[in-house]
Amino acid sequence: MTTFIFDELTGIPTILATNRAKRADQTGAAGSGISTSQTPVNVDRFAKGNEDLTPSTVYQDAEDWNVRVFRNKYPLVEDHEIIVHSPYQDKDIEDLPQVQNVRIMRAFLNRVTYYNSQDKEVMIFNNRGGKAGASILHPHSQIVALKGFPGIIEMEKTEAMKYYNEHNSCYWCDKIKVELALKKRIVHETPHFVLLVPVACRWSYEMLLIPKEHKPNFGYVNDMEINDFTQILKAALWSYNAMFNKPDRNFWIHTMKYEPYHWHVGFIPHIKVFGGLELGAGIWVSDKATPEDAAEQLGENVKTCYREFIG
């Protein structure tokens, strides 16, 4: 069972998950780089043909799978799954063709729908590289499900309700209207999504992807939105690769079952380390570029990705 510990003064949550020290470490993220299993640490556990090295499959797109989902062997919470992006260890979302990225998104949607049907909220997140928290090299995302998420997601939910009560409108819908009017921090706009750099970015070159149509839940996206989403997701990740030589990075999908939430995606490249002000005071320092400059630079690379790889 999940063990949450809450700071007595601030209420900030911590998950106690000492079992994760046992996981294989291929990136140096876990500390020792030594596997506690009989399998050598450098073996690709997520490759096709090595299914016996992971827990049993809970979802796959075909018998000869292209995308596979299984329960995490060292879970953070009781419901914690791994989504393997493809059979290839050297290809991630920004390298894969559109058809494969759509398969990944359909796996995401399958698991969101499954856990929502159990009255659980879901968070999808992606860690690439040791600085971003990854311990396995094979590209994959993770999904965790709980009755409710403490921390940032709960704060967003509370503030979204407060904003709606005060303005009779959605915070994120209003945000993209303002940003599209200003055009200073827009990275890219598609028929269904707006990619931007937040004005109060916590990290240099942080990005936020917001759907134009108001939907609280990622599970409500339609086929046209899925195609558009996979393209802009690929371009956003590709832009980090182009600018920072394939940095360690994270992205996550925040989604809720109920109004007045508005699902969205966050991105951060690991191009700096935490300092004392971030860790000690919780005050983020964005010191590499202004949000406006970051949006312009990222936007040029996103356009290049569309022109050369997406069309």
Per residue in 93-148, pLDDT (tens digit) is 999 999 999 999 999 999 999 999 999 999 999 999 988 888 899 999 999 999 98
Residues 41 and 122 in one domain: yes
Question: Which CATH number goes with the domain that contains 177?
Answer: 3.30.428.10
Q: Which of 85, 138, 140, 270 is catalytic?
A: 140
Give the separation between CA 236 and CA 257, rounded to whole angstroms.
26
Among 273, 270, 264, 265, residue whose Cα is nearest residue 249: 270
Share of the chain above pLDDT 70, in %: 95
Average confidence (pLDDT) over 195-210: 93
Give the separation between CA 72 and CA 273, rounded to whole angstroms.
28
CA 285 to chain centre: 21
Calculate Rg over the CA atoms of the chain: 19
Residues 56 and 164 in one domain: no
* pLDDT score at 31: 55
Domain, as residue range, for 95: 3-146
pLDDT bracket for residue 10 (50, 70, 90): confident
Q: Assign residue 282 a region (left: φ > 0; alpha: ψ between -120 and 50; beta: otherwise).
A: left
Residues 142 and 165 in one domain: no
Mean pLDDT of the chain: 91
CA 50 to chain centre: 25
Residues 185 and 289 in one domain: yes
pTM over 0.75: yes
The neighbour count for residue 99, using CB atoms within 10 Å, is 9
* pLDDT score at 170: 97
Point out the domain boundary residue: 77, 111, 146. Answer: 146
Among 44, 64, 63, 40, residue whose Cα is nearest residue 54: 44
Write the DSSP string, 253-282: EE--SSTT---EEEEEE--S---HHHHHH-
Q: Which segment of 6-10, 89-93, 191-195 scores lowest on mean pLDDT?
A: 6-10
- Please confirm, yes or no, whether 138 is among the known catalytic residues: no
Does residue 167 sit in helix, strand or coil?
A: helix
pLDDT bracket for residue 25 (50, 70, 90): confident
pLDDT bracket for residue 33 (50, 70, 90): very low
